Amino acid sequence: MTNNSNKVNIAMLASGTGSNVLNFINYFRIHSRIKIALVISNKPDAQVLKKAEMLNVPSVYIEKAKWNDPKYLLDIFKKHNIDFIVLAGFLSLVPAFLIQEYPNKIVNIHPALLPKFGGKGMYGMNVHKAVIDSKEDKSGISIHYVNEEYDKGRIIFQASLFVSANDTPETLAKKVQKLEHEHYPRVIEGLF
């Protein structure tokens, strides 16, 4: 912890609907050690920003050019006393200077069993379509540290589920999302 409060302040980075962010905010709303202190999006119209606002969690949109501006970005993290960063559907590469500033303190969730179905362009429904197209009988979630390459950091936790012959990318997405909501906040909680 680098801040003066007795809690670990987490910033969440997200680009989309933010069901995981919502789940985290609810899970940690009354928590002795962890606080969701900030939600950041790289999309101005991301639903996640509205969700955070409704739940009185500070939220900020950061435009593309500013993600390459260390002073601008790090000042935001410092202002909110951020100790740890959690990605939930953040569809952009995390800048190297942020990874250096937060070594082993940035975690991502990927909606498949890495190292399969990871890498650039592999996000959201693209992942589920690829899993169905490959006729995999298993998929799941991977929670991992973030490094300079998409989906390559050390894996902290995985959980799997069966893909049935009737599954479509949409039904698989729902099953994976349920698994994410069940495990992701608990795995992060377990790190502190």
Angle between helices 169-189 and 19-27 (to 10 degrees): 30
Compute the distance between CA of residue 138 and CA of residue 59 in angstroms, rounded to an integer: 36
Q: Contact with ligand GAR (CB under 6 A): which of 11, 40, 106, 111?
A: 111
**Of 81 and 176, CB closest to ligand GAR:** 176
**Of 81 and 127, CB closest to ligand GAR:** 127
Supply angle C-alpha 64, 69, 72, rounded to 5: 100
Is position 128 annotated as part of the catalytic site? no
Say whether residue 127 binds ligand GAR (CB under 6 A): yes
Taking CB under 6 A as the binding criterion, the range among 13-21, 37-45, 61-69, 97-105 that sits at the site for ligand GAR is 13-21
How far apart are CB 62 and ligand GAR at their closest, in Å? Answer: 17
How far apart are CB 119 and ligand GAR at their closest, in Å? Answer: 9
Active-site position among 31, 110, 181, 183: 110
Say whether residue 19 binds ligand GAR (CB under 6 A): yes
Q: Where are the alpha helices (DSSP H) in 35-80?
A: 47-54, 70-79
Q: Contact with ligand GAR (CB under 6 A): which of 51, 110, 144, 183?
A: 110
**Dihedral angle of Cα 61, 65, 69, 73, to the nearest 10 degrees:** 10
Residues 70-109, mask of contacts with ligand GAR (x by CB under 6 A) = ------------------xx-------------------x
**Of 70 and 169, CB closest to ligand GAR:** 169
Q: Contact with ligand GAR (CB under 6 A): which of 58, 95, 124, 169?
A: 124
Q: Where are the alpha helices (DSSP H) in 2-104?
A: 19-27, 47-54, 70-79, 96-101
User: Which residue matches tokens 């179905």?
Assistant: 117
3-state secondary structure 105-156: CEEEEECCCCCCCCCCCCCHHHHHHHHHHCCCCEEEEEEEECCCCCCCCCEE
Residues of the shown chain interacting with ligand GAR in the complex, contacts defined by CB under 6 A: 14, 16-20, 88-89, 109-111, 122-124, 127, 177, 180
What amino acid positions are annotated as catalytic residues?
Answer: 110
